[in-house]
Amino acid sequence: MLFGRNGNLDSQRANLTPRQQISGELSPSEKLIWVDRPASASHHAFSSIGSFLFGIPFFAFAVFWTWMASEPLRRGGIDGPPGFSYFFPMFGIPFLLIGLAMLLTPLWSAFAAKHTIYALTNKRLIILTRYPVRNFQFWPLENLDDITRTGTADGPGNLYFAKKAHYNSKTRRTTLKAIGFIGIDQPLKLEQAILEAQQSLKSSAKD
């Protein structure tokens, strides 16, 4: 289950180390096992490749539609009611912006990686992002989905441990997006640390 807390970027917190920022969020009985930033921004960029590929035809069609809609203006004529020739092409502007945003998603993801902190404690996994707003999310160790590791053992690689449902209103389909630590060093070592923390948590619950 996903929990979260949002807030504005605190400039004072931004100057703290990753360990200091995470430590300030922990409960008195919680122990910090591992904390780090993404080692590879390119992994974050590649994770958004789907949006980029979909944005290519979307943006191209938006450009084509806007260009065709502005044809009366380009030839100096006026079609329809007064002002219609100016107003009609403006419908394409939102779609141009949406398409451009999808094309820039990999760059945005790579930039956001520099403002992201990952952490493992003896109770949960944490993702803290500081841009564009401060967002603190955590997943209890006992509620994790199956852990999936991609990339080499030494990294950079990815560790996925949760899924988030995403509903597409156009296709009317719900897809599951994998959530985890992206572009980290030594993902195998961290995977083993997570499994050990889970086992320790289960042992403590039995006592």
* Residues 143 and 202 both lie in one domain: yes
Residue 180 is assigned to a structural domain of this protein: yes
| The total number of structural domains that make up the chain | 2
pLDDT of residue 1: 35
Extract the tokens encoding 135: 């967002």
Averaged pLDDT score across all residues of the chain: 78
99 found inside a domain: yes
Q: For 85-108, what is each residue's pLDDT tens digit?
A: 667 677 778 888 888 877 777 677
Cα gap 33→197, rounded to integer Å: 9
To which H or E segment does residue 161 belong?
A: strand 157-168
pLDDT at site 9: 41
Residue 14 vs residue 71, higher pLDDT: 71
- pLDDT at residue 124, as a whole number: 95
Q: Which domain holds residue 33?
A: 3-38+115-206
Residue 60 structure tokens: 């191209």
Q: In what order do the strands lie in the sheet with 134-140?
A: 3-7, 134-140, 124-129, 116-121, 32-36
What value does the mean pLDDT take over residues 128-136? 82
69 and 16 within one domain? no
Element (DSSP H or E) covering residue 21:
helix 18-23
Residues 66 and 167 in one domain: no
Q: Does 145 lie in the same domain as 120?
A: yes
Tell me if 195 is assigned to some domain. Answer: yes
Is there a single domain that holds both residue 100 and residue 154? no
User: Which contacts qualify for 130-134: CB closer than 8 Å, 24 or more apart?
Assistant: 130/9, 130/13, 130/14, 131/9, 132/9, 133/6, 133/7, 133/8, 133/9, 134/6, 134/7, 134/8, 134/9, 134/10, 134/13
One domain, residues 132 and 98:
no
So what's the pLDDT on residue 32? 95
CATH number of 174's domain: 2.30.29
